[in-house]
Amino acid sequence: MNTAKITMSEQTAILVTGSTGQLGQSLKAIIDNYPQFHFVFANRSQLDLNQPDSITRYFEQHQFDVIINCAAHTAVDKAESEPELANQINHLAVKQLAECAKQHNAKLIHISTDYVFDGKSYRPYREDDTVAPQGVYGQTKLDGELSVQKILKNNAVIIRTSWVYSEYGNNFVKTMLKLGEERESLNVIFDQVGTPTYAKDLAIAIMEITGSTEFNKNDFDTQIMHFSNEGVCSWYDFSKAIFELSTISCDVSAIETKDYPTPAKRPHYSVLNKAKIKQTYRLTIPYWKDSLKQCLSALQDFEK
């Protein structure tokens, strides 16, 4: 069987899974800035992480220098009623990707989540803080992390992030814009605190990591890193900023989590400490409200 392989001496071959998701599409939008890499964006019809046989077949026919796993079962509430599907995509498929990376001597960047924590902290979470997921989504994402660490002692970076939004797909920003145009008032939770992450900023950080001296060492210890935009806000603050920057007139009332019950338990506090990723890869991370402005501007351009 022929194996497609672009060697490091020609171009670094990068596979991006979850190509139709927010982060996958954000990576696709910036690849022209990184001509030293050859990108392959795999969609579900080519690489279905819900089907172990699909993963096996794909890596029998293709080989890469770097795998960036952006795919995930991110429907937090649905995960409570679809635990087997969430476990397959967030855990078992990740385990299989790590095994393929090891077999082909590829490096892996895997995206994880703040939901591995219980949300009871009083200070930003560091990478070595105790994990205690509160639901199926968080547990399956943690299981994925643990599989990567067990299989790949070297050459993997696990990036935990939070509150991801973008121009693409379904997310909080686009939902608020739609509801703000349709309704005169909204109730939004104020007692869940974290930091929004603009997917484009995360995509840029991933590419800066991929091109860094540290990442391109022959062997480096597998690491967990935290990434979100800078600053802190609640969902209430976030929605207020969205409406103010979009000049949408919608009255927002602050409510408590208990007033808006959901199948999955959300962390009350999920601010991530980003000192490690900034120091290791010399990253400058934008303030969340500045990135929100950039995203809203991009959304306006889409509509033109």
- Which sequence positions are flagged as catalytic? 137
Distance, in Å, from the CA atom of 4 to the CA atom of 59, rounded to the nearest integer, reads 10
CA distances from 135 to 75, 77, 117, 247 (A): 12, 9, 10, 36
Distance, in Å, from the CA atom of 112 to the CA atom of 114, rounded to the nearest integer, reads 7
Distance, in Å, from the CA atom of 288 to the CA atom of 229, rounded to the nearest integer, reads 5
Q: Are 260 and 187 in contact (CB under 8 A)?
A: yes
Distance, in Å, from the CA atom of 160 to the CA atom of 145, rounded to the nearest integer, reads 10
Residue with tokens 């979100």: 228
> Which residue blocks in the chain are alpha helix, DSSP H?
22-30, 52-61, 76-81, 83-87, 93-103, 136-151, 172-182, 199-210, 235-246, 275-281, 288-303
Q: Are 172 and 296 in contact (CB under 8 A)?
A: no
> Which residues lie below 8 Å from residue 10, measured CB to CB, with a gap of 6+?
38
User: Residue 88 has which token pair?
Assistant: 């397959």
Q: What is the four-CA torsion angle of 71, 72, 75, 79, rounded to 10 degrees?
A: 150
Residue with tokens 């993963």: 55
Q: Are 140 and 87 in contact (CB under 8 A)?
A: yes
